[in-house]
A and B are shown apart, each in its own frame.
Chain A
Amino acid sequence: EDQVTQSPEALRLQEGESSSLNCSYTVSGLRGLFWYRQDPGKGPEFLFTLYSAGEEKEKERLKATLTKKESFLHITAPKPEDSATYLCAVLVPNTGNQFYFGTGTSLTVIP
């Protein structure tokens, strides 16, 4: 069965303390892996799309990487405004444009 697993479930960082979030998947024939940020009470906002192993994308303090089995979201010198839940999702072939989501990592950055 196709699965997407995110770890850790929750992460507390001091401001400036860099870390990484993990998204592992067991999907065959990956067509794309997507990272989203979700603030409390709001819909997810798109961050990155990764298509193939070895690919990297960056945006401000965030950097996403992809291997054949997992993706990492690296957060460098985080600020309190980076506090949010980060979701990853994969697009699976032959599913009618359906995404499979992980359950997310809740990040709290303490000033």
Chain B
Amino acid sequence: DVKVTQSSRYLVKRTGEKVFLECVQDMDHENMFWYRQDPGLGLRLIYFSYDVKMKEKGDIPEGYSVSREKKERFSLILESASTNQTSMYLCASRPTGNPYGYTFGSGTRLTVV
């Protein structure tokens, strides 16, 4: 069964901490995405990557960075966590081609205190 695995289901971090969220997919997909999901706002794209070492900003990249050193792994980094970054973070991947849907991970619920 194909999978997108997010390393943590729940995280609690302190304001100002550097936070790493990890995502690994086993489907050899070229494209990977990080979204955050908030009530009433839906899914908002933070960053995506269409190839190793490539990254593109999404709609809300401020306060975040990403790393993709290997095809299967896409990391989201919160440089200095703030309380307004408390959210559900979802990783997704999809192959290149028209049109394939996303496969999502199970999500990381991050609370910044």
| A interface residues, Cβ below 8 angstroms from B | 31-32, 34, 36, 41-46, 49, 51, 87, 89, 91, 96-99, 101-104
Using A41-B107, A42-B107, A97-B94 as known contacts, say yes or no to A104 and B101 having CB atoms under 8 A apart: no
Contact A45 B43 (CB under 8 A): no
Contact B98 A99 (CB under 8 A): no
A-B contact pairs, 13 of them (CB 8 A): A41-B109, A42-B107, A43-B90, A43-B106, A43-B107, A44-B102, A49-B99, A51-B99, A89-B43, A91-B98, A96-B48, A99-B102, A101-B42
Q: Determine which residue in A34, A87, A98 has the highest number of CB atoms from chain B within 10 A of its CB, and name it.
A: A98
Q: Residues of B contacting A32 with CB < 8 Å?
A: 98-99, 101
| B interface residues, Cβ below 8 angstroms from A | 4, 31, 33, 40-43, 45, 48, 50, 56, 58, 90, 92, 94, 96, 98-99, 101-107, 109
Contact B99 A44 (CB under 8 A): no
Contact A97 B96 (CB under 8 A): yes
Q: Determine which residue in B33, B48, B99 has the highest number of CB atoms from chain A within 10 A of its CB, and name it.
A: B99
4 closest Cβ pairs, A-B complex:
A32-B99, A43-B104, A103-B42, A101-B43
